[in-house]
Amino acid sequence: MLPISLYIHYPYCIRKCPYCDFNSYKKSSDTAIDDTYANYLVSEFDRYIDKLDGRKFSSVYFGGGTPTLFPERCFEKILKRIKPYLLDDCEVSTEANPGTVSAIQLSNLRQMGINRISLGVQSFNDGSLKVLNRIHDGYTALKAVDYIKEAGFENFNIDLMHSLPEQTEQMALDDLKKAVESGATHISFYELTIEEGTAFGDNPPELLDEDLMAQIEFKGFEFLESSGFEHYEVSAFTKGRRCVHNLNYWLFNDYLGIGAGAHSKLTLDNTVYRRANEQRVLDYFKDHDSNLDNMNLVLADDLPFEFMLNRLRVFDFIEFSEFEKTTGLKFDCVKEKLLKAAQKGLLEFTDSGFYLTTFGRIMLNDVLELFL
């Protein structure tokens, strides 16, 4: 059986960021909604326990939204319910907004069983943060890092965006330098993208020249690697602690998602299924009350692209058997397309598997297009 992770979605924020296309909403002053929401999360978890087939979770991830707005009593209720289903070394993460955390809160979460923090800094530069309409400034971000370390977290990630409006190469490198000096064990460094349906999508800011964006990314990657970080995924760097939860997605293993808008991928009887919850909270409540088991079969024709879309993000060697184990398909069904990629210098074959070349990492979309 495949490893399995648990994703728990908290949909509320203090305000919506202009670049964000995640399922999130401005939080109201009605705090009772949190307790109601926590009850629905527990109830939904109970409904899908039988889909685990006796497996325990290798990771748990509270995402959002801004999970650090979730009252501690709600965290405690959920963690208590899921605890019997966690592996002994389970990675339990929560996303955190620097403008919503305190030393006491983080310490309490640590005692409840949260053992990893993913801090959404985006930038330490006050001007960049203003452009992104974040609720924190650079000083607050650094204080949040102090709180994380004071609470005893030895494993934490810092999220940073690059190629922001008016950002220079030096500004991006200054952000990375602060992240490295903070003691973070993991850094996510990714480009600002403009998504439809967001404030930036409706009213785009002036973006950087593409050559400058590419230069910022290259120099950023170079700096992180020279600082001792392993570049193990498209936008992820680590000092010895890969993100177990994200890696589980990328390796095309199983995951159960609970909460408004949460998605799941579950392999049952060697067949891959997906499910997705209603996005709006009240619709999620109604859908839950109707007791719908919305498991949708993933067609065999779609599995090769889904596998490659996820697995090629990770730069590790891929064994032929890995494709067969996670998809239930024979490797022969993708071999011809991968050979075409190899002829273009995008990947290399061995007797037991294949891997992206340096050129293939840069031109990853060209490989994926072969499977569309």
Summarised one tens digit per residue, pLDDT across range 147-176 is 999 999 999 999 999 999 999 999 999 999
Which domain-ending residue is among 203, 227, 248? Answer: 248
In the chain, % helix, strand, coil (3-state, to 5) comes to 45, 25, 35
Q: Are residues 81 and 222 in the same domain?
A: yes
> In the predicted model, what is the mean pLDDT of residues 337-359?
96
Q: What is residue 179's predicted lDDT score, i.e. its pLDDT?
A: 98
Is pLDDT at 341 greater than 80 in this prediction?
Answer: yes
**Is the residue at 164 inside a domain?**
yes
**What does the block give as tokens for 36?**
């109601």
Q: What is residue 317's predicted lDDT score, i.e. its pLDDT?
A: 97
Domain that holds residue 353: 318-372
Instruction: Find out whether 85 and 61 touch, Cβ atoms under 8 Å.
Output: no
Is pLDDT at 294 greater than 90 in this prediction?
Answer: no
Q: What is residue 302's predicted lDDT score, i.e. its pLDDT?
A: 97
DSSP 314: B
Q: Are residues 138 and 231 in the same domain?
A: yes
Q: Give the pLDDT band (50/70/90) at residue 28.
A: confident
Q: Are residues 236 and 337 in the same domain?
A: no
Q: Are residues 99 and 244 in the same domain?
A: yes
Is pLDDT at 291 greater than 80 in this prediction?
Answer: no
Q: Are residues 162 and 24 in the same domain?
A: yes
Q: Are residues 111 and 198 in the same domain?
A: yes
Q: Are residues 241 and 324 in the same domain?
A: no
**Is the residue at 336 inside a domain?**
yes
**Is the residue at 85 inside a domain?**
yes
**Is the residue at 295 inside a domain?**
no
Is pLDDT at 40 greater than 80 in this prediction?
Answer: yes
Helix (H, G, I), strand (E, B) or coil at 107: helix
CATH number for the domain including 222?
A: 3.20.20.70
Summarised one tens digit per residue, pLDDT across range 99-138 is 999 999 999 999 999 999 999 999 999 999 999 999 999 9
Helix (H, G, I), strand (E, B) or coil at 195: coil
Q: Are residues 208 and 337 in the same domain?
A: no
- Residue type present at position 137: D
**Is the residue at 26 inside a domain?**
yes
In the chain, the percentage of residues whose pLDDT exceeds 90 is: 95
**Is the residue at 157 inside a domain?**
yes
Is pLDDT at 293 greater than 80 in this prediction?
Answer: no
> In the predicted model, what is the mean pLDDT of residues 233-256?
97
Domain count, the chain: 2
**Is the residue at 63 inside a domain?**
yes
**Is the residue at 281 inside a domain?**
no
Distance (Å, whole) CA 135 – CA 141? 10
Q: Are residues 175 and 46 in the same domain?
A: yes
Which domain-ending residue is among 233, 248, 263? Answer: 248
> In the predicted model, what is the mean pLDDT of residues 41-70?
96
Which domain-ending residue is among 216, 248, 280? Answer: 248
Q: Are residues 120 and 229 in the same domain?
A: yes
Summarised one tens digit per residue, pLDDT across range 306-317 is 999 999 999 999
Q: What is residue 240's predicted lDDT score, i.e. its pLDDT?
A: 87
Q: Are residues 234 and 342 in the same domain?
A: no
Is pLDDT at 345 greater than 90 in this prediction?
Answer: yes
Q: Are residues 240 and 341 in the same domain?
A: no
